[in-house]
Homo-oligomer: A and B are copies of this chain.
Amino acid sequence: MTWLSKSLMHTRGVARGAVGTTHELTEERQGVFHYTIGPYSQPVLHIKPGDRVIVDTRDAFDGKIQTEQDLPSAKLRVPFLNPQNGPIMIEGAEKGDVVAVYIESMLPRGANPRGTCCLIPRFGALTGTDFTAMLNDPLPEITRKIDLDEQGVYWSRRVTLPYRPHIGTLSLSPEIDSINSLTPDSHGGNMDVPDMGPGSITYLPVRSPGARLFIGDAHACQGDGEVCGTAVEYASRTTIHVDLIKSWAIDWPRLETEDQIMVIGSARPLEDATRIAYSELVLWMAKEYGYDKWDAYMMLSQCGKVRLGNFVDPKYSVAAGVEKKYLAPEAE
């Protein structure tokens, strides 16, 4: 029996950890991919709490960058970036609930899987961009194709990186807005938090009927901040187990792993993302773990963990976490 049986998902979810039907969301079944996350698109799948979905995600470039000669400026057009599978409707989900998404596995798709990393003009953390507008010439445009498998990401003759997959973009629909899939916010979106890989559970607030789950943007590996603007973007076969927690009022995405609970804030400047993450974590500890608010705040000052997600997208994402061992009730 794993830690999962004690997770918030298994102890509070409608399905109590039980696994229902397994659905396949192939490219064919998906049909039209989405570039905006909202309540206005046609559902592709209806599932029950406890069901599993095997999702065939496309890479963030929609598979249009096939060789190192394919330049982003020639092949891509804003805002048609970062295609998303979904929306998946979850039976019984209503505003005020939470959807839990446990990532079971992420596998590369295709015979000779390759990832793609691009340096895109006016995009990335160390260059002027559309939002941090500069008059400097842009950086060079570069495309890298990288062989990968479940053993490694073969970056260069010199460097092999570990295969550490995660989902970059995971969302429920906002109530009335529709937000492009490049932008993270309180609905989820393009958070690019490396901890959101196999073995993690993400909790997202439901804001529209049926929740409308979107998923995409698999990364074979990614450093903190995704500093050049892109990870090793690849087409994945991702298996998720989905449950519904009724009447849990959360304002921002939360993450649970074997060892930690985390909150993810997305905002600019980066300190505001960090403030959201830490502030929600303090309030969570006070509300659900028996902490005095000020004790939680002061203790996180001694043991809080921060993960930088993206700091290249229209909003930056930061996760703040605490180890579960510090949440256990006082021993008698």
Contact = CB atoms under 8 A, between A and B. Distances in A.
Contact of A308 (B35, B126, B308): B308
Given A223-B301, A301-B226, A301-B229, A135 B142 contact: no
Contact of A304 (B177, B227, B232, B326): B227
A127 B179 CA distance: 27
A127 B117 contact: no
A110 interface: no
This chain's copy number in the assembly:
4
A102 interface: no
A211 interface: no
Contacts of A228: 297-298, 300-301
Contacts of A174: 79
Interface residues on A, range: 35 or more
A248 interface: no
Given A135-B279, A138-B136, A156-B295, A221 B303 contact: yes
B175 A178 contact: no
A267 B268 contact: yes
A226 B267 CA distance: 20
B275 A133 contact: yes
A111 interface: no
A149 to B, nearest CB: 16
Contact of A276 (B131, B301, B306): B131
Which of A174, A279, A330 is most buried by chain B, counting CB atoms within 10 A of its CB? A279
Interface string A43-75: 000000000000000000000000000000000
A144 B298 contact: yes
Interface string A300-332: 111111101001000010001000001011110
Contacts of A231: 301-302
A282 B224 CA distance: 14
Contacts of A295: 156
A180 interface: yes
Nearest to A305: B224
A128 interface: yes
A161 B126 contact: no
A38 interface: yes
B133 A134 contact: no
B302 A223 contact: yes
A159 interface: yes
A202 interface: no
Given A117-B302, A161-B302, 14 more contacts: A38-B40, A79-B174, A79-B176, A125-B275, A125-B278, A126-B282, A133-B280, A144-B298, A157-B330, A161-B326, A227-B300, A268-B268, A269-B270, A270-B271
23 contacts: A35-B176, A36-B178, A117-B301, A126-B275, A126-B279, A127-B134, A128-B128, A130-B251, A131-B276, A133-B278, A134-B279, A135-B297, A155-B299, A156-B295, A157-B330, A158-B331, A176-B178, A177-B177, A178-B178, A223-B301, A224-B320, A227-B300, A271-B316
